[in-house]
Structure 1
Amino acid sequence: MDRTERFYKIEKLLRQRKLASFAALQAELEVSRSTLKRDLDYLRTRLNAPIEWNREAGGYRFAETAGLADLAHELPGLWFSSSEIHALLTMQHLLAGLDTGGLLTPHVAPLMDRLNALLGSTNNDAQEVRRRVRIIALANRPARPGHFQTVGSALLQRKRLGITYSARGSGQVTEREVSPLRLVHYRENWYLDAWCHLRRGLRNFALDAISQAHLLERPAKEVNDATLDETFAPSYGIFSGGPVQWAHLHFTPERARWVAHEQWHPQQQGQLQADGSYLLRLPYADHRELVMDILKHGAHCEVLGPGSLRQAVGDEVGKMGEKYS
């Protein structure tokens, strides 16, 4: 940990704990007494941090008399970790896409200002960070802003929704009454996990496929988190429900250099082979999304099992062959 990182960690600890002893700071930073003394002195005398020693409480804290201007002192520029910069820019991307100039703008604008403050500093303002670092969204299907707000309201108020839903797989349009349970952002798109009163079971709905949505006064049916996780979490991708099977995939040495570092599922099991190839096992309940990801690798991925998945991939390859022959 370099000195700049230590400065930020000292500030974070003091803001979180309100009071921190010298021993506690030293243990968190894993530095010598002399190094910590120099850091505290530098923060106070060179960077004007309002840090004081409270003899009665036996620890360091920010001065209680410090105004907002004092607490807004500038620390030297610190670059973000990959997860931090991705989180901040992704949040901006999501907020900007929710409702440009529409109903949510008054609520979104303050959050955007806070994110800009986090991204910016004396050495690099938020606009420059966004210009130099990009989060690229692929296959994004925007949900209607009004519907997003209606779904969100029903979700938090625990009310049922009446929706008109267009199932892309079959092209069928149905009127449904659903109890919203979770909003899920997956692969750049929004989905709603809900209890469908028409089908009398848990279902997943793409928000962009909802053409009409209105709040109902009837209370939503509650489903506990354990049941939701059991239904939606174990299987591969957004298509869930039904018996779980395990896919066995074999990748060539060339493609293994990428796939061995990817996470396809939290419960996946992977093993590099002596020849450099890679064996990947992962659970799935519905093969549709998994087949699409397998086909992206072409001849570099072989489905070893189960037979039904191998057949599904073979059928898709056959259709492609007929189309392009």
Structure 2
Amino acid sequence: MSEIDRLYQYKTLLSGRRAMPRGDIMQKLEISQATFKRDIAKLRDQLHTPIVFDRDLGGYRLEQSDSTELPGLWFSQDEMLALMTIQSMIVQLEPGLLGPKLKPFQKRLDDMLASQGLDAATLTQRVRAVHAGKRHLTLTSFETVAKATLERKQVQIEHLNRQNGELVLRDISPQQLVHYRDNWYVDAWCHLRGGLRSFSIDAISQANLLTKAAKDIDLITMRQQLDGGYGIFGGMPKDWAVLEFSPSRAQWVRHESWHPQQEGTLHADGRYTLKVPYSDERELLGDILRFGAEVKVLAPPALQQKLSNELTKALNQYKA
């Protein structure tokens, strides 16, 4: 008997009567006392099976609770609601991508919720994820890159460089998938450039899984290198941006996370000063521009000049 089959037998044995002595369980399963102890520990600690020893009845039994069983797991009503909420958000996050793969699991959760008088359809209708700036994703490219990432294989991609419009064929070793601002990216070792790069998956027109093993990069080292910049742009910071927000806008901005190493100061008159490091100012400029006159760049001068140029170009669009 395999371990998983044996563990399932506990459920059958302990559901058939009020309590069962240890010796009877060991005899039924034909196991030693050491194996019995390991099984009980695993059922309780890893699979969260509600097994208790009832001293009055002199044996083991399943504790009565509001939990519902899944294969190898017991979920309470609140936990099932949380799972359904997450499942609903995942489907909205990327319709057609993860939804079909979760269908069997979703059906099981629907049935469990219904057994407890809860309407799963109402839940999915009442939980809504709103997305802005989401770009179209080529499903096959995502699945190939995701498969390569998890199976630790190299993948050959045809990637569009949006700055110069050039399509480049390159082999990469995916390290991690990143979902950022409603879009998917893959952080990878680029064998063409010989360094770490972050690629927007919607800019990958073709992806072919290779048989070669991926080059593994220490994740902590990689994240230190890629997360040093601002937003999706990696690299070591080249400077710190110092931004001053108006009192009206400060009420929101002071609660926002712009960068893990950001520094914020709320002034007595309501103004808010935010300092963030950056390696590439493109995304930072876009975030600053959306605040219009509610923000002022105090430093560095190079960032001030670039922002001034962008504002001038925007103003010129409306001159007769």
Relative to the length of structure 1, the TM-score reads 0.72
CA distance in 2, matches of 1:58, 1:297: 69
Residue type at the aligned position of 1:143 = L
- TM-superposed CA distance for 1:235, in Å, is 1.9
In structure 2, the partner of 1:208 is: 202
Q: 1:57 to 1:296 in 2, by over 3 A?
A: farther
Q: 1:67 to 1:250 in 2, by over 3 A?
A: closer
CA distance in 2, matches of 1:180, 1:78: 33
Moved over 6 A (4+): 56-61, 71-74, 77-81, 117-121
- TM-superposed CA distance for 1:126, in Å, is 2.2
Q: 1:192 to 1:131 in 2, by over 3 A?
A: same
Equivalent position to 2:262, from 255, 268, 291: 268
Question: Across the two proteins, how many residue pairs are aligned to each other?
Answer: 271
Residue by residue, what CA displacement relative to the aligned partner does 1:252-282 show, whole Å, maximum 9, x if unpaired? 0010111111111222111110110101111
Q: Which is further off, 228-237 or 298-307? A: 228-237
Residue type at the aligned position of 1:91 = I
In structure 2, the partner of 1:224 is: 218
In structure 2, the partner of 1:55 is: 55
Q: 1:258 to 1:199 in 2, by over 3 A?
A: same
In structure 2, the partner of 1:43 is: none
RMSD of aligned C-alpha atoms?
Answer: 3.6
Q: Which is further off, 181-190 or 108-117? A: 108-117
1:148 aligns with 2:142: yes
SS at 1:275 equivalent? coil
CA distance in 1, matches of 2:161, 2:153: 23
In structure 1, the partner of 2:97 is: 98
Identity %: 42
CA distance in 1, matches of 2:261, 2:61: 44
Equivalent position to 2:125, from 131, 141, 144: 131
Equivalent position to 1:198, from 175, 192, 199: 192
Equivalent position to 2:44, from 11, 15, 18: 18
SS at 2:317 equivalent? helix
Gaps of 5+ in 1: 1-14, 20-49
Q: Does the CA-based 8 Å contact 2:243-2:274 persist in structure 1?
A: yes
In structure 2, the partner of 1:32 is: none
**For 1:39-54, what aligned pairs fall within 5 Å after superposition?**
54=54
Residue by residue, what CA displacement relative to the aligned partner does 1:117-171 show, whole Å, maximum 9, x if unpaired? 7887846422212222311111111321111111112112222111111111221
Q: 1:73 to 1:224 in 2, by over 3 A?
A: closer
In structure 1, the partner of 2:36 is: none
Residue type at the aligned position of 1:62 = L
CA distance in 1, matches of 2:162, 2:115: 46
SS at 1:96 equivalent? coil
Relative to the length of structure 2, the TM-score reads 0.73
Residue type at the aligned position of 2:310 = E
Residue by residue, what CA displacement relative to the aligned partner does 1:27-46 show, whole Å, maximum 9, x if unpaired? xxxxxxxxxxxxxxxxxxxx
Q: 1:72 to 1:242 in 2, by over 3 A?
A: closer
Gaps of 5+ in 2: 1-40
Equivalent position to 2:168, from 170, 174, 195: 174
SS at 2:192 equivalent? coil
In structure 1, the partner of 2:178 is: 184
- TM-superposed CA distance for 1:314, in Å, is 1.3
Higher-Rg structure is: 2
1:284 aligns with 2:282: no
Q: Does the CA-based 8 Å contact 1:95-1:108 persist in structure 2?
A: no
- TM-superposed CA distance for 1:16, in Å, is 9.6
Q: Does the CA-based 8 Å contact 2:84-2:106 persist in structure 1?
A: no
Q: Does the CA-based 8 Å contact 1:234-1:244 persist in structure 2?
A: no
Residue type at the aligned position of 2:120 = A
SS at 2:131 equivalent? coil
CA distance in 2, matches of 1:143, 1:232: 23
SS at 1:319 equivalent? helix
